[in-house]
């Protein structure tokens, strides 16, 4: 079956540091890949996505590239802010059936001033 | 923007009670989902629905049922609540299945405590 593995958190960074959150996946076929973010007290919201190999999703300074050869979709940001503190979820959709999403366990990011 | 509204932010129930969690979306979305979120386990899919009166089991349907009588409303039912159902419950909706329409819109969640 499908699965998503994320690095465990919390990831603790100082403001303006470089961020990488690793995500690898197992899936049959060619899934779409997503990063969702959950700010404190809120539901998840889509941060970015990529639908095919070598696509790069980007939003709000975050980027992730769909790497089919390494089955990875690592999230990066060049300079984090305190307001980026949140839980980040990697997810995939296998495009078969009803396209339900499979989520990773989430990685908490804490950014200090 | 799409709004997904969950009826309660916090809920406290007793073991054995029947519990209803309500979710309403206002953008005519076809698909609706119920997830539970637990520390260290992430999000796990309980049930989903792709049309009125239709439902499909997710990964952890045991102890739960759902109802979708109207397109905009998707209810999660705990027939007899147990302490291991204490969790954050998240409702989500999406426009339609397949293609590029896998963007889920989430509600803010209901934190259910079963005592």
pLDDT at B101 over 70: no
Task: Tell me which long-range contacts B57-64 makes (C-beta under 8 A, separation of at least 24).
Answer: B58/A100, B58/B33, B58/B34, B60/B36, B64/B34
pLDDT at B20 over 60: yes
Q: Give the pLDDT confidence of A38-95 residue by residue, as tens digits.
A: 999 888 999 999 988 999 999 999 999 999 999 999 999 999 999 999 999 999 986 5
Structure confidence at residue A105 (pLDDT): 94
Distance of residue A47 Cα from the nearest chain B Cα, in angstroms: 10
How would you label A30-42 residue by residue, b for 16+ Cβ within 10 Å and e otherwise? ebbbbbbbbeeee
A98/B97 CB distance under 8 A: yes
A43/B102 CB distance under 8 A: no
Above pLDDT 70, what percent of chain B?
93
Q: Are B93 and B25 in contact (CB under 8 A)?
A: yes
Q: Mean pLDDT throughout B24-45?
A: 92
A42/B97 CB distance under 8 A: no
Structure confidence at residue B37 (pLDDT): 94
Nearest 5°: CA angle at A74, between A71 and A34? 80
* Top-ranked range on mean pLDDT: pick from A27-31, B2-6, B29-33, B75-79: B75-79
Least confident of B39-43, B93-97, B104-108: B93-97
């Amino acid at each position: 079956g499908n699965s998503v593995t994320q690095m465990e958190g919390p990831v603790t960074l100082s403001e303006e540091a470089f961020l990488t959150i690793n995500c690898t996946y197992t899936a049959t076929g060619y899934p779409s890949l997503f990063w969702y973010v959950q700010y404190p007290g809120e539901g998840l919201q889509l941060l970015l996505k990529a639908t095919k190999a070598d696509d790069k999703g980007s939003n709000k300074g975050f980027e992730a590239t769909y790497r089919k050869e390494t089955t990875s979709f690592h999230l990066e940001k060049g300079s984090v802010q305190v307001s980026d503190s949140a839980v980040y979820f990697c997810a995939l959709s296998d495009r078969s059936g009803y396209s339900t999403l499979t989520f990773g366990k989430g990685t908490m990011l804490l950014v200090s001033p | 923007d799409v709004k997904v509204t969950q009826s309660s932010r916090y809920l406290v129930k007793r073991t054995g009670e029947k519990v209803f969690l309500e979710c309403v979306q206002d953008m005519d979305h076809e698909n609706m989902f119920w997830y539970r979120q637990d520390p260290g386990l992430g999000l796990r899919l309980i049930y989903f629905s792709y049309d009125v009166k239709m439902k499909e089991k997710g990964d952890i349907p045991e102890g739960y049922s759902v109802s979708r009588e109207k397109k905009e409303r998707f209810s999660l039912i705990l027939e007899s609540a147990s302490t291991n159902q204490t969790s954050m419950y998240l409702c989500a909706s999406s426009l339609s299945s397949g293609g590029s329409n896998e963007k889920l819109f989430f509600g803010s969640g209901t934190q259910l405590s079963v005592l």
